[in-house]
Structure 1
């Protein structure tokens, strides 16, 4: 008996399996969306003890409190906004569970400070690689009122654009304390990252 004849004889079973598979897929999708949404909240980000140092620095900065009332939370700057890169970033971030629960390496303020430059440089490299995509999700150069910028800001933005620089090369240490060591531009020049 051919496969098609068997399927015709057992069409209810096949239909039931397809419906079950569909329901399972929808359930996994809903659960995944919930996990992505929950792990993208400010409360989740600062729930780890070692993130309390970063969060304290962020409080009161222009990204936290400003004249417009528009806030940028942790994930606005540190997690891609597009679905594919977002999922990949969340998968990559599971390593943080290891460093938080199995092999803590920044659980005290002293240890955090000792690794601050290394962690910042990792973020800077990611931002350079994606042309500061998370910055650009809020700050769009094509929507800037350049005429309202100071003359110095206008010159620096024009020069940065001409040199192919990205936001993080000049705008760093805005929401967190600057680490000791090279600036992003100095770091990229030393690594020959264009």
Structure 2
């Protein structure tokens, strides 16, 4: 009896287990490919709303062109690097697709109308995570104050003492500062 049961299980359970494994691997690899692609610069600027506004102003900034040749692309600053926060950000970013489909930001003029609101969202996110995306590339402990101006040395010292985070002061480093009442420091 046990021999017959074992033969039955081998015959009818092996195929579903193999199929489940293949499907699971396919879904995992496929979703990782999609996540990776949506983190590329080509994807980020594939719509004119980004290419003609924030990407255009990013070009030739220190994050685009510099003496070391190290570039920060859109996802480096706007998408967390850790898995769970990255997935949460990707889900929240779907509202940007909704904005595109509904025409909320489909012209430079409409984008400018909403620039401040969009910037506030990013500033709040970066303040909440202590500018984690900045710190992914910029290690405060590796900063060489001797290579900074006296003003920068003083501001960094005061900012660290006051518990500020990168975005409090460096919020217009890659994009134009939007008109509005608040800066990240005020949030």
The offset of 1:147, in angstroms, is 2.0
Aligned to 2:69: 69
- TM-score when scaled to structure 1? 0.90
The offset of 1:12, in angstroms, is 2.2
Aligned to 1:92: 92
The offset of 1:91, in angstroms, is 1.8
Deviates more, 1:161-170 or 1:47-56: 47-56
Counterparts of 1:171-186 in structure 2, within 5 Å, are 171-181=170-180, 182-186=182-186
Which consecutive unaligned segments of at least 5 residues does structure 2 have?
Answer: none
SS at match of 2:20: helix
* Aligned 8 A contact 1:7 1:14 in 2: no
Aligned length: 184
The offset of 1:7, in angstroms, is 6.1
Alignment deviations for residues 43-95 of structure 1 (CA, whole Å, 9 cap, x no partner): 10011121121111011111111111111000000000112211221122122
* Aligned 8 A contact 1:128 1:166 in 2: yes
- TM-score when scaled to structure 2? 0.93
Which consecutive unaligned segments of at least 5 residues does structure 1 have?
Answer: 189-194
> Equivalents in 1 of 2:83, 2:59: separation in Å?
28
SS at match of 2:137: coil
The offset of 1:148, in angstroms, is 1.6
2:94 matches 1:133: no
